[in-house]
Copies of this chain bind each other. A is one copy, B any other.
Amino acid sequence: MKVLIVEDDPLHRSYLHEAVNAALPECDTVIEAENGTVGEKLARDHKSAHIVMDLQMANRNGIEAARTIWKERPETRILFWSNYSDEAYVRGVSRIVPDGAAYGYVLKSASDERLKLALRSIFIESQCVIDREVRGLQQKSLGQTNGFTDSEYEILVDIALGLTDRAIAKRRGLSLRSVQNRLQQLYDKLDVYQSAGDDHEDGRFNLRARAVTVAFLRKLLNYSALERAEAELQEWLDGK
């Protein structure tokens, strides 16, 4: 059995290495990659079916790497080991996991025990292991209660990218007015009004920009999500 570790940080990498050795005596080879790009390549070369990966990496982040890896071999088992449980990450991950694939999401703050348990559950028992905290977000995010629908999230991303209403309409195949409707819906949910027109016509916000900021502060968006969205946008622009 082979395990591939994809992780930026040398200290974390060697910690993972030890954890894998300790948790999986049946594992005879451990390979290391220091960023997403190398990770993809090694996964391909070694046809390794067992991967532990960080999400936030400078060169190519975990979500992108996982996507291409899963595209090539959907049965690959991946354990995401991340510092953060931003909704943006959680949403990003659940968007790309193939049907029926075994995967995991464990926070770096988890104990050694938890990590080792997760390693065994996923790689040996093929079970999904999602950190409690992450799980909470996931439900809130996918279920409609208090969370954001896909269409709301979509518009959020579009205005975050800086598209005009018209451009969004064109991109998503909607009328101008529909786009604006969804925007209002978004503004509602993000509570952009609250602090806004409070009393005087004094300290009012620009709703569009404010929405993006609020989403950022709430971790609904983060750098990595923006980066991916920007790449998709460029693709779309090129494709006409």
Contacts and interface: CB of A to CB of B under 8 A. Distances in A.
Count the copies. 2
A17 interface: no
Interface size class on chain A is 35 or more
Given A12-B11, A15-B11, A230-B213, A163 B206 contact: yes
A211 interface: yes
A210 B161 contact: yes
Given A11-B12, A159-B209, A226 B230 contact: no
Q: Is the interface of A mostly helix, strand, loop or mixed?
A: helix
Interface string A192-214: 10010000001111111111111
Contacts of A163: 203, 205-206, 209
Interface of A: 9, 11-12, 15, 83, 108, 159-164, 166-167, 170, 192, 195, 202-214, 216-217, 222-223, 226-227, 230, 237
Contacts of A204: 164, 166-167
A216 B223 contact: yes
Nearest to A195: B237
Given A216-B223, A223-B222, A205 B12 contact: no
A210 to B, nearest CB: 3
